[in-house]
Structure 1
Amino acid sequence: MFIQTEDTPNPQSMKFLPGQPVLGEGATGVDFPTAESAAASPLAQLLFETDGVMGVYLGADFITVTKTEAVEWLHIKPALLGAIADFMTAGLPVIAEGAAPSDAPATPLEEYEGEDREVVEQIVELIETRVRPAVAADGGDIVFKHFEPRTGVVFLSMQGACSGCPSSTMTLKSGIENMLKHYVPEVVRVEAA
C-alpha cells in the first residue's frame, strides 16, 4: 500500500493519504486530541502508541497526526506509515462498532427559534460549503459549535491540523470571521470554542 503524505500549515501536523476511504465520503471528521479520547477508534489508538503523537484527526479520506515539538517527523513518520498501512490493509473498522467519539456536540438547530434559526442555518451553510472543504485540504477541520444571538458571537471548534496551528488564529479572525460578517450581518465576531 502506498500512502502519500502532505505537510500542513501546522508544522507539528502531517496529513496521511492512504488512497482509500478512512471514514468514507460524506462522513464528518473525528478529532482525537488525546490518547484517552481515542477509545472509539482502534486506528487512532494504534497511532497514539507511537512516541511523540499527541493528536489524531480522521477525515473522509485522510488521517492527520499531530506530534509534540520534541520529536522530529524524520523519526516517527516511518512508524506511522507502517501502522497506517498495516491497519488499512487488514480492513479493520476505523471506528469501533457502536462507539461514539467524545466530542462536545454543537448546539442543536432546534434550540434556535425564528430569525436566530435562519441566521444559524446561514452560518452552518457557509462553513459547510466554503470553509470546511478548504480547511480539509490542509488536514484539519472547523466545526460550528454555537451562536449567541444576543452578542453576535459564533463559536467554532478547530480540529486536526488546525488545532494549535500558528496560523489558525489568523484563519479564524481574518478569513472566517470576515466572510461570516460579510454574508451574515448578525455575526459580530468568531471565537474558538
Structure 2
Amino acid sequence: MFIQTEPTPNPATLKFIPGRSVLDSGTLEFTDAAQAARSPLAARLFDIDGVSGVFYGADFVTVTKDRGEWQHLKPAILGAIMEHYMSGAPILADGKSDGDDDDDEFYSEGDAETVEIIKDLIETRVRPAVANDGGDITFRGFKDGIVYLNMRGACAGCPSSTATLQHGIQNLLKHFVPEVVEVRPLA
C-alpha cells in the first residue's frame, strides 16, 4: 500500500491520500479524542502525541497537529493509516456517516432562491477546490447580505483562510449574486 502525502496551505495540517475510499459521502471532522472514538482510524491517529484534528474527505485524510514537527509525526501517522487499511476495519465503528450537517442552516424564507444559488456555487466551484487542499467549506447561513460559512479540515485555522474567504469566495459570490455583500466564517 502506498500512501501519498501533500502539504496544505495550513502548515499545521497535512493531507494523506491512501489510494482507497475514505468516506462514501460527505465529510467528517474529529477535533478531539472523544469524538474520534467512533472511528477506529481517527482513534489511532489521536493516540499519536501532537495530533489535534482528523478530517475525512471522499479519498483523503487530513491530520492537524498542535505541536511537534512533521518529520517526527509523519511516520507514525503513515503507520496508523496503513495498519487501519490492512486490518480491514471500517472507517466508522457505527457504519454511519453524519457527514454534512445541513440542520443548522439559517436564512429567511424570502431569501430561499438566493440561498440556493449561493449553495450551488459553493458546491460546484468552491468545495472541489478546497477539497484539493484537504479541507471543506459548507454553507451555514445568509442574513442581511452576509454569507456565513463553516470551515473544516485544513481550512480551519489556516493562516490563508481569511484571504480565501474575502478575496476568493466573497468575490465569486458577489459576482454571481448581487445580494451578497460579505462572506464570514461562522464563529
TM bin (shorter chain): over 0.9
Contact 1:40 1:101 in 2 (8 A): no
Q: Distance in 2 between matches of 1:103 and 1:59?
A: 11
SS of residue in 1 equivalent to 2:37: helix
Counterpart for residue 142 of structure 2: 147
Residue 105 (structure 1) shift: 4.5
Which stretch shifts more, 155-164 or 41-50?
41-50
The counterpart of 2:65, out of the listed 61, 64, 67, is 67
Counterpart for residue 8 of structure 1: 8
Counterpart for residue 159 of structure 1: 152
Contact 1:57 1:160 in 2 (8 A): yes
Identify if the C-alpha distance between structure 1 residues 180 and 173 changes in structure 2 by more than 3 Å, giving closer, same or farther.
Answer: same
Identify if the C-alpha distance between structure 1 residues 102 and 28 changes in structure 2 by more than 3 Å, giving closer, same or farther.
Answer: closer
Superimposed CA distance per residue, residues 124-147 of structure 1 (whole angstroms, 9 cap, x where no aligned partner): 100000000001001111111111
Q: Distance in 1 between matches of 2:96 and 2:53?
A: 19
1:29 equivalent to 2:27? Answer yes
RMSD of aligned alpha carbons = 1.9
Question: Post-superposition, which runs of at least 4 consecutive aligned residues in structure 1 deviate over 4 A?
Answer: 98-106
Q: Distance in 2 between matches of 1:42 and 1:84?
A: 10
Q: Distance in 1 between matches of 2:133 and 2:72?
A: 22
Residue 56 (structure 1) shift: 0.5
1:135 equivalent to 2:124? Answer no
Q: Which runs of structure 2 are paired with 1:2-151 in the superposition (5 Å)?
A: 2-24=2-24, 27-68=25-66, 70-97=67-94, 101=98, 105-108=102-105, 112-113=108-109, 115-148=110-143, 151=144
Residue 93 (structure 1) shift: 1.3
Q: Distance in 2 between matches of 1:159 and 1:18?
A: 20
Superimposed CA distance per residue, residues 41-100 of structure 1 (whole angstroms, 9 cap, x where no aligned partner): 2211111110000111000000000001x3000111101001001101222111222556
Identify if the C-alpha distance between structure 1 residues 138 and 100 changes in structure 2 by more than 3 Å, giving closer, same or farther.
Answer: closer
Contact 1:38 1:101 in 2 (8 A): no
Q: Distance in 2 between matches of 1:2 and 1:184?
A: 43
Q: Distance in 1 between matches of 2:33 and 2:137?
A: 21
Superimposed CA distance per residue, residues 5-63 of structure 1 (whole angstroms, 9 cap, x where no aligned partner): 00111111000000000003xx1111112223223322111111100001110000000
The alignment of Structure 1 onto Structure 2 pairs a total of residues equal to 186
Q: Distance in 1 between matches of 2:171 and 2:103?
A: 22
